[in-house]
Chains A and B, each alone.
Chain A
Amino acid sequence: MAEANLTSEREAGDAPREADQPHDSLVAHFGTDKPLKLDAGVELSPFQIAYKTYGTPNAARSNAVLICHALTGDQHVASVHPITKKSGWWETMVGPGKPIDTERYFVICPNVVGACMGTTGPSSTDPKTGKPWGLDFPVITIRDMVRAQAMLLDHLGIDSLFAVAGGSMGGMQVLQWAASYPERVFSALPIACATRHSAQNIAFHEVGRQAIMADPEWRGGRYHLEGTNPRRGLAVARMGAHITYLSDAALHRKFGRKFQDRENPTFSFDADFEVESYLRHQGISFVERFDANSYLYLTRAMDYFDLAADHNGVLANAFKRTPTRFCLISFTSDWLFPTSESRAVVHALNAAGARVSFAEIVTDKGHDAFLLDEPELFAIVRGFLDGAGKARGLGPKAER
């Protein structure tokens, strides 16, 4: 039955306190003396950042690579996820001998502010009340996420990053990094992203948020207190969003009109089609590891992102006299962040006189291509980082 399929095993009461005490992660605590100043005009304090590191910093601390995760990603970029037990979300890209080589670079991947895997967010405990923040958590922006990451780097004693890399919402953070802290970013790899969220993207996000809010278990965002969990709303949000990460061609190639474990239609609303079954699975497995309110806050942060608007409407002004080397990558079948968006960034960077590379990769895998096995993507990232590494004076292996 459809209903049964959308109900997960875990009961609401034992919601993981991953938000406060994350597994397999390092945690940096920022006390009341180090508040995070938010764009919303308030301060978040105290707060914490959960992060993972891979590799070793070199003597000059010049080989640090910051990985910024996407909307539903987390710090577990290249190691087993503590909840799903699946391998890291970007293990194709990050690891020993991989394009972002952890034998060469010191990789840092923090969980963003507003998320639910150990960095302070709406499911974290509000120190003032001792209860989860819920909707009392302030609205955060991409710039807030980046500001927090800069504080983490200060905490780690890293002045300048060799590279900042990320796709989708991660790519937005990369662009924000280059705009906010140009002197701290030697090279930037924004992949499958844009400097602003389009009306269509905001619209898709709103559908997801409404699905969560329409779930009676959401309880005005107070589900942690009331012992419920808007699983079905969050699962539907994920199902809708997941379609936007793929492409028509990829869905057709993968599923076509094939039936799921049956020869004929059942003449019911059961998941007859493979594609339905797949989406339901995506929805269910997502709610196991993600918090509904975090989904609201992070989609909101993406919606608000508009780098040009922060610079009098002129995108090039965001990158004036930037010393950063850029490499932008887009995918032909990505309709969420189409190539035209990357091209607009390239134009602005050219106008700003920046050192920029841009490549579009042919694939039918849609937006998610940045997470998948795309040999051309790996070759470009490797080549770009090798070139930047030479310019930075990094040896083939990190000097211990």
Chain B
Amino acid sequence: MSRFKRDNPELTIAGSPRAPGDARVDLVLVAEMVERGAKVLDVGCGDGELLRILSESRGVDGRGIELSREGVNECVAKGLAVIQGDADTDLGDYPDDAFDYVILSQTLQATRHPRVVLEHMLRIGRHAIVSFPNFGHWQVRLQLLFAGHMPQTDILPHSWYDTPNIHHCTIKDFRQLCTEIGVQMEKAVALNAWGKPLRLNAPWWFWNLFGEQAVFLLSRQG
């Protein structure tokens, strides 16, 4: 077990996948890991919802990268600083230490080289925040074990042949990768299928089985 402090999100997170203000719970969780006024890069920022939350609730100086043209244009039209780009190819263009936080929200599993992306994130930013769907969740395991087909759940709705998610991992896998590349895990939160954070003192195997998604706050070793 690594030694790190788990956040206590229960104080602020409502017991549903949507927090007050109708924001996605995982996004609110991510936002709460960010210090006020920080400089943030959101990789794969979609329609800019997280950047909006971050700027409204944390007063951050936020930038975004988004692959889809529609997403980018929607963000820019909202006044957000977002560029069209690809996490796999464009992070290399950013200088070291350009940001306080680099966030990858529900995108890690869709990158071609998750390890390289993660390394870039911690080169560009002092901290990285990564959220991803846990492929070790019991629903996923049961579908494969008993139904014998590729799992499809609420947060993994795609068929195997048209999914953008090419690098699924479990919470256990992700922790292993962090150890391998020498990343420090500062905080972690797992959410169950109803968007509720799991008990903080639960063992990792419990998180890996009952966490539908996880959010990690990482920083460079040392």
Contacts and interface: CB of A to CB of B under 8 A. Distances in A.
B69 A383 contact: no
B144 to A, nearest CB: 39
Given A355-B81, A359-B84, A360-B84, A350 B76 contact: no
Contacts of A386: 79
Interface residues of A, number: 25
Q: Is the interface of A mostly helix, strand, loop or mixed?
A: helix
B79 A351 contact: no
Interface stretch (B93-101, B183-191, B195-203, B204-212): B93-101
A332 to B, nearest CB: 9
Interface string B151-186: 000000000000000000000000000000000000
B79 A359 contact: no
B1 interface: no
Interface residues of B, number: 20
B69 A357 contact: no
A359 B78 CA distance: 13
Contact of A357 (B61, B82, B93, B98): B82
Contact of B72 (A347, A359, A382, A390): A359
B93 A388 contact: no
A255 interface: no
Given A350-B98, A351-B93, A383-B78, A358 B73 contact: no
A43 interface: no
Contact of A358 (B72, B77, B98): B72
B77 A350 contact: no
Contact of B76 (A351, A353, A383): A383
Contacts of A346: 83, 85
A353 B79 contact: no
Contact of A351 (B83, B84, B85, B94): B94
Interface in B87-139: 93-95, 98
Interface of A: 325, 327, 346-347, 350-351, 353, 355-362, 376, 379-380, 382-384, 386-388, 390
Contacts of A358: 72, 76, 82-84
A351 B77 contact: no
A359 B63 contact: no
B95 A353 contact: yes
Given A347-B93, A350-B98, A359 B81 contact: no
Contacts of B73: 359, 361, 376, 379-380
B93 A355 contact: no
Contacts of A380: 73, 76-77
Contacts of B78: 383, 387
Top-5 shortest CB links A-B:
A387-B79, A383-B77, A358-B83, A347-B93, A357-B76
Interface string B43-80: 00000000000000000010100000100110111111
A376 B75 CA distance: 12
Nearest to A385: B79
17 contacts: A325-B81, A346-B83, A351-B95, A353-B95, A353-B98, A356-B81, A356-B83, A357-B75, A357-B76, A358-B72, A360-B84, A379-B73, A380-B76, A383-B77, A384-B76, A384-B77, A386-B79
